[in-house]
Amino acid sequence: MKEVPGRDTRYEVSSDGRWIKDSDLSFEISECDEYALEEALKLQEKHGGEVVLLTLGTERAEKLMRKGLAMGAEKGILVHDPAQQVSSPLAVASAFAEVLKKETFDLIMAGTQSDDFGYAQTGVMLAELLNLPHATIVMEVKAEPGAHKVEALREMESGWFQRVEMSMPAVLTIQAGISQIRFTPLKGILMAKKKEIRRVELGSLGLNLEQIPRLEIQRVYFPEATRKAEILQGDAETVAASLIDKLRKEARIL
């Protein structure tokens, strides 16, 4: 799970122009991640087992993990990054891989991409780091725990779909809109307060963040709305010749 600024938030660029002001923002679970949680809960209801949340962030992320616990997850693991040192999908995947190497699991289900950066890389990189089969942009999941198999329906380009079968454990990245997100009941909200969220300090994972490629945002800005028009004068032949010349030399599309 990843916390992202609320979709209905009015954004303002920060004073340094490198990101958005986050002091007054409300945060929520990234949409694809919420659908991934819903699919995990459905598989649990059908086959048993438990759903464990995993996220990376500051203490603020615990609030959103409580929502996931209220939906039905049993417990959570927070990779605590108070200084926000992790700045790339590879760094996030590396941290998650170190945590998951010590856990036993059948499926890792993540969102296809996050609402803020939209890299769509974390789940794929995690699968590679753990040497697990994976499928992306998944629209349907059918699991056979007894046979250690999972079948996924992938959304492709131009309205095409692909059905793939993999052995478990595996990694799936879930597409938004795969199903209907369940309503969080009051009982679940009350129970979530008592469920465990285990904190793992980023520094305890033994990662050398200096050796992991970083991504740096150079500038964030709103596009400037400008209008520019040029009226070509003369007869039709002159105007046509002038237009072709501009399309070739200025617009460079001919």
Question: Residue 26 is part of a domain; what is its CATH number?
Answer: 3.40.50.620
Q: What is the pLDDT, as a whole number, of residue 225? A: 78
User: Chain-wide mean pLDDT for the chain?
Assistant: 91
* Mean pLDDT of the 149-161 span: 93
Q: What is the pLDDT, as a whole number, of residue 143? A: 93
Percentage of the chain exceeding pLDDT 70:
100
Q: What is the pLDDT, as a whole number, of residue 79? A: 96
221, part of any domain: no
**216 has pLDDT over 80:** yes
Residue 201: closest CA among 86, 100, 63, 78: 78
Kindly report, residue by residue over 35-67, the tens digit of the pLDDT: 999 999 999 999 999 999 999 999 999 988 999
Radius of gyration for the alpha carbons in the chain, expressed in angstroms and rounded: 23
- Beta carbons within 10 angstroms of residue 159's beta carbon: 6
* Mean pLDDT of the 9-32 span: 85
For residue 223, whether the previous peptide bond is cis, meaning omega lies within 30 degrees of 0, is no
Range of the domain at 138: 3-211
Q: What is the pLDDT, as a whole number, of residue 117? A: 87
Q: What is the pLDDT, as a whole number, of residue 44? A: 95
246, part of any domain: no
Its sign, for the CA torsion 13, 17, 23, 28, is positive
**Strand, coil or helix: 173:** strand
218, part of any domain: no
236, part of any domain: no
123, part of any domain: yes
**81 has pLDDT over 90:** yes
- Token pair belonging to 122: 């974390």
* Mean pLDDT of the 149-166 span: 94
232, part of any domain: no
Indicate the residue type of 149: K
165, part of any domain: yes
Total count of domains within the chain:
1
* Mean pLDDT of the 23-29 span: 84
**129 has pLDDT over 80:** yes
251, part of any domain: no
Counted residue by residue, the chain has a size of: 254
